[in-house]
Amino acid sequence: MGINALSLNSLGISQQVEETGLSFQENAIIKATEYYSQSNIPTLSDDSGLIVEALKGNPGIRSARYAGENATDKQNRDKLLIELRDSPLPMRKAMFVCVIAVIFAPNNIKVFRGEIKGSIAIKEVGNNGFGYDSIFIPENEARSMAQLTDYEKMQISHRGIALRKTSNWFSNSRILS
C-alpha cells in the first residue's frame, strides 16, 4: 500500500491521551487528533470494546476499565460474568466494536467501524486471545474468540473488519498518490 507505520514510541511520544468521549468514535477521534497535534503527520488511532445488551450497553467505552481503573482482563471478565450470572443464554447478546480514526490534517478525519455480534458464554473457554475473548462466542460459531486461530479471528473480528475498511479506503483513495 506504500505506507510506513510509525509507533508513538518511535516518535518519542509517551503521553497517554485521556478518553473523555461518550462513544468509541469520539474516543478514536480524540486520540488521533491529539497524537496528530504532537507529531504533525497523518495519524491512525482506534477505540474498541464490548457492548452487552442485557447490561444496557456496558461495559462499552469503559471495557478496559470495567472492574476499575487498574483492573486486569480477568477482573473485567469476572465482573461481567457475575453481572450476567442470572441471565439465560438468549439474553446474553453482545457485540465487539472497533472504530478507527485517521487524521490527515485538522478537520480532515476519516472514520471506519467494525463490529462482530455474538453472545457471552457462561464461563471462560480458550487461551488464544485477551480481554473478553474467552467469554465471547461469535454468531454462527460454537467456539469462543479465544479458541479461534489468529487467522480465523482476523477474518471475523471487529478489528479485522475495521482494518480492512481502512485499508480499502487507502487503496481506493488518491490520498497517497
Cβ–Cβ < 8 Å for 156, 116:
yes
pTM attached to this predicted model: 0.92
Q: What angle do CA 70, 55, 143 make, to 5 degrees?
A: 80
Helices (H), ranges, the chain:
24-39, 73-83, 150-156, 158-172
Whole-number pLDDT of residue 2? 62
Q: Which of 47, 86, 133, 150 is catalytic?
A: 47
Whole-number pLDDT of residue 177? 52
Cα separation of 176 and 115, whole Å? 27
Whole-number pLDDT of residue 6? 87
Cβ–Cβ < 8 Å for 117, 53:
no
Lookup: cell for 158: 471487529
Q: What fold characterizes domain 21-172? A: Maf protein (3.90.950)
- Block means of pLDDT (10 residues each) for the chain, 177 residues, are 79 91 98 95 95 97 96 98 93 97 92 98 94 97 96 95 93 70
- Is 47 annotated as catalytic? yes
Cα separation of 54 and 37, whole Å? 39
